[in-house]
């Protein structure tokens, strides 16, 4: 689940920073008018901040993923295993019609892998040492096919667009509701001018941002089924099923930072299904078995 949590948390951090910048620079004055809110100006500002924050998060995703896990990009294979890894990714990328991704290995005992990047031709595929040590090559190839399919399906760009639209509504409604609450508390008919209003907007933006993340997680779960199907196409249906069943017994400590756990093929969803970035592995296996 590494890819999604990193993206969501980075997005929230960028949005919070943009909110502070807008307040300190006074840009949000254009969202106010005499007697109330300038809804048109607010919507334009919300769209610029929302889409901008989302695409900034996307642009940072590959760099942050590599830094977070200490992934070492393979430039020149040092052994037969690394050469096989590069060759397999290259072959799958050609079959999927995308540019050759960067390939990296990171040190971690759990079986996991992730892919991220700004576009189909500017991406990264990374695997843990635990995955390479615990799976046979047919299973590793299926996992790589799953990650290559994420890239070929344009999942990160689609996620960015969804997040950008959600950001827009979060910013817009946080300020509308913030103005109404500020008016009710202060008795000021106009509202929206003081630091109390700014504090209310920050709290509302965080709360609404959390609700918006539920939609992002729903999309993440849906796209996992598509990536599984892609992995089955690239590496074989039985290999993909075998890899998922192996992951179901993945009891190694997940060393991926919490901020990027939604990027991995082996995702822990948390206590509530609504917060899961990945559907349960039995459901994924059942979907593959039922596929023609």
Phi, psi dihedral angles at 129 (to 5 degrees): -65, -35
pLDDT score of 23: 63
Q: Which residue ranges in the chain fall short of pLDDT 70?
A: 1-18, 21-36, 187-194, 250-277, 292
pLDDT score of 271: 42
104 bridge partner residues: 73, 126
| Nearest-angstrom CA–CA distance, 61 and 169 | 23
User: Within its chain, how far is the Cα of 137 from the centroid?
Assistant: 27
Burial tier of 118 (Cβ tally within 10 Å: 0-12, 13-18, 19+) = middle
Report residue 124 as tokens: 């990264």
Give the fold, CATH level 3, of 69-152.
Zincin-like (3.30.2010)
pLDDT score of 252: 47
Q: What is the CA radius of gyration of the chain?
A: 22
Query: Tokens 């992995």 sit at which residue?
Result: 231
Length reported for the chain: 292
pLDDT score of 269: 45
User: Distance of CA 47 to CAs 3, 16, 53, 201, Å?
Assistant: 24, 15, 10, 16
This prediction's pTM: 0.76
Catalytic annotation, pick one of 110, 139, 141, 147 = 147
pLDDT score of 38: 76
147 catalytically annotated = yes
Spans of all domains in the chain: 2-60+155-252+267-290, 69-152
| Nearest-angstrom CA–CA distance, 139 and 145 | 10
């Amino acid at each position: 689940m590494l890819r999604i949590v990193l993206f969501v948390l980075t997005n929230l951090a960028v949005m919070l920073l943009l909110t502070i910048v807008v307040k300190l620079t006074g840009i949000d004055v254009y969202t106010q008018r005499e007697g109330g809110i300038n809804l048109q100006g607010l919507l334009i500002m919300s769209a610029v901040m929302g889409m901008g924050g989302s695409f900034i998060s996307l642009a940072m995703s590959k760099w942050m993923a590599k830094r977070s896990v200490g992934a070492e990009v393979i430039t020149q294979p040092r052994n037969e295993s690394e050469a096989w890894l590069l060759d397999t990714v290259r072959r799958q990328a050609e079959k999927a019609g995308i540019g050759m991704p960067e390939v990296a290995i990171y040190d971690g005992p759990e079986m996991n892998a992730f892919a991220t990047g700004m576009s189909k031709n500017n991406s990264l595929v990374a695997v843990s040492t635990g995955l390479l040590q615990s799976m046979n090559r047919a299973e590793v190839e299926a996992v790589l096919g799953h990650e290559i399919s994420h890239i070929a399906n344009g999942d990160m760009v689609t996620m960015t667009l969804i997040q950008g639209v959600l950001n827009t509504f979060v910013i817009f409604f946080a300020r509308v509701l913030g103005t109404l609450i500020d008016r009710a508390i202060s008795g000021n008919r106009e509202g929206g001018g003081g630091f109390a209003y700014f504090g209310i907007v920050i709290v509302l933006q965080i709360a609404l941002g959390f609700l918006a993340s539920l939609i992002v997680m729903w999309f993440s779960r849906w796209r996992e089924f598509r990536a599984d199907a892609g992995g089955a196409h690239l590496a074989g249906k039985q290999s993909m099923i075998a890899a998922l069943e192996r992951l179901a017994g993945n009891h190694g400590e997940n060393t991926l930072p919490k901020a990027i756990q939604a990027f991995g093929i082996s995702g822990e969803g948390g206590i509530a299904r609504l917060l899961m970035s990945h559907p349960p592995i039995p459901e994924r296996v059942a979907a593959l078995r039922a596929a023609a």
